[in-house]
Amino acid sequence: MAQLPSLQMLKSFEAVSRLGSFTQAAAELHVSHSAISQQIKALEAYLGRQLLQRQTKKVTVSEDGRLYAIQIRDALKTLEDATFQLKTNPRQAELVIATLPSFAAHWLAPRLMDFRQLYPQIHLKLLVDLAVGDLSEQQFDVAIRMGNGDWRAAAQKELLFYDELWVVAATDFQQGRLYFSDQQIIETPVISSLETWNWWCEKADVAFPEQSLLQVNDSNVVIEMLRRGLGVALERKSVVFDLVQQGILKRISNTVVAYPWAYWSVIPEGQTLQPETSLFLDWLKQQVQIYENDLGCDTAL
């Protein structure tokens, strides 16, 4: 962009050309008469053009000055409008949150409406992916990740909560039957991963018939299969708790298994902690506390 005269020069000339008086222009801009005169002389020297014709009792604008004043007036009005719009419209801050599909769908998303009502000026964006990848290669403000907390590319991390595995089924599974022994559970069609069912069978002290297992590596698919009454599943408490509370799913065993990984909030290395990120982290900790309080009120079977 070409070098421009100072804004003060332009404002001084615009005021004098409009008012026809150095004195009135000085009063409008809250400066001295001599200051206005100096700004006009500096502008004329910069342009190499005479903008004003000075007479004893009045000031008239030259033809060059008249045309220039019209353009300056339009430009100053554009600046004024842009400044007013920026000051009166709050900044639309964006917060990018990265997390797993199952956690986003069944724990975070149902609670996010509360955050949006509290902070409507913050635009939320969820990055949902099974493959979390390298923290240093992703573009987000905060991640909610599952693991042991050992992330070298994390500038800040905080434990949210530990999880456990529940055996669940649709509320009307097998005509709404309420009680299943652990042995009866593994004799029904079972869904989820082989590894987690092995953990549960070891805890329940039952042998696991692998031929009855349908392995599924996506919790959202598992939930849909449960809704359709296609079997029982071993799922993370964080994924199914709200569905159990709503009567969509039911727990069918008091045998639970501690999940080896926890949920953490993670800020990637090199990421500046923005005010909206701090607000989200504080809100997230409050939601975790509410969730854990609800868990304390939950009765098993």
Count of domains for the chain: 2
Using the 3D structure, point to which of 54, 88, 122 is the last residue of a domain.
Answer: 88
Using the 3D structure, point to which of 30, 54, 88 is the last residue of a domain.
Answer: 88
Residues 68 and 106 in one domain: no
Residues 34 and 157 in one domain: no
What's the CA angle centered on 276, arms 273 and 277, to 5 degrees?
A: 45
Residues 174 and 82 in one domain: no
Confidence at residue 301, expressed as pLDDT on a 0 to 100 scale: 55
Q: Is the pLDDT of residue 1 over 70?
A: no
Residues 50 and 110 in one domain: no
Among 64-78, 99-113, 177-191, the range scoring the smallest mean pLDDT is 177-191
Distance between CA atoms of residues 252 and 243, nearest Å: 14
Which residues, in sequence order, are CB contacts of 32 under 8 Å at separation 6+?
Answer: 26
Using the 3D structure, point to which of 62, 88, 114 is the last residue of a domain.
Answer: 88
Q: In which band, very low, low, confident or very high, does the pLDDT at 210 lie, cut at 50, 70 and 90?
A: confident
Q: In which band, very low, low, confident or very high, does the pLDDT at 90 lie, cut at 50, 70 and 90?
A: low
Confidence at residue 132, expressed as pLDDT on a 0 to 100 scale: 54
Q: Which residue segment(s) compose the domain that 110 sits in?
A: 94-297
Residues 206 and 234 in one domain: yes
Cα atoms in the Cβ-side hemisphere of radius 13 Å centred on 57:
0
Residues 112 and 261 in one domain: yes
- Rg over alpha carbons for the chain, rounded to the nearest Å, is 34
> What mean pLDDT is reported for the chain?
87
